[in-house]
């Protein structure tokens, strides 16, 4: 996870230098101010990427949304020890997986939405919705 964030951050910085812009302070409420501290900076990028990735872990039924249906889907898999309930990907379905899933679910449902491209989905076919990342980066580099 940390490696994904580091690679994404480096890629983002390189894009900024190529495009000749960089994150700026926000004047008004800004979608790119993901951590809501009135600044648009690398902390917002890290916060967005963490929730953006957690959405994949929390979208158990892969419908593109993170909602209570995912809790029921996870619990059904967890009850029978199905591989889909191995949320922490350690090869064993255990109480740690329940804890891991609930943490990801809580972070996603208690954070601003990562649906920056407005398509109504936070995941795409069981993976991160790349359109949301590009839409977020447009706001981030523009300072809003």
Digit-coded pLDDT (tens) for 116-136: 999 988 988 788 889 999 999
Confidence label for 12 from pLDDT (cuts 50, 70 and 90):
low
CA atoms within 13 A on the CB side of 60: 26
pLDDT at 127: 86
Angle between helices 2-19 and 42-58 (to 10 degrees): 130
Question: Do 26 and 138 touch, CB atoms closer than 8 A?
Answer: no
Given a cut of 50, whether residue 22 has pLDDT beyond it is no
């Amino acid at each position: 996870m940390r490696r994904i964030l580091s690679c994404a951050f480096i890629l983002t910085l390189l894009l900024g230098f190529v495009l000749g812009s960089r994150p700026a302070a926000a004047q008004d409420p800004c979608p790119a101010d993901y951590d809501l501290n009135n600044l648009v900076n690398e902390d917002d990028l890290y916060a967005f990427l963490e929730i953006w990735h957690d959405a994949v872990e929390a979208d158990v039924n892969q419908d593109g949304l993170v909602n209570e249906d995912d809790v029921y889907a996870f619990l059904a898999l967890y009850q029978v020890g199905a591989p889909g309930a191995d949320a922490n990907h350690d090869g064993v379905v255990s109480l740690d997986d329940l804890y891991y899933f609930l943490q990801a679910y809580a972070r996603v449902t208690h954070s601003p939405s990562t649906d920056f491209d407005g398509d109504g989905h936070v995941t795409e076919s069981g993976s991160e919705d790349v359109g949301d990342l590009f839409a977020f980066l447009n706001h981030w580099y523009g300072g809003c």
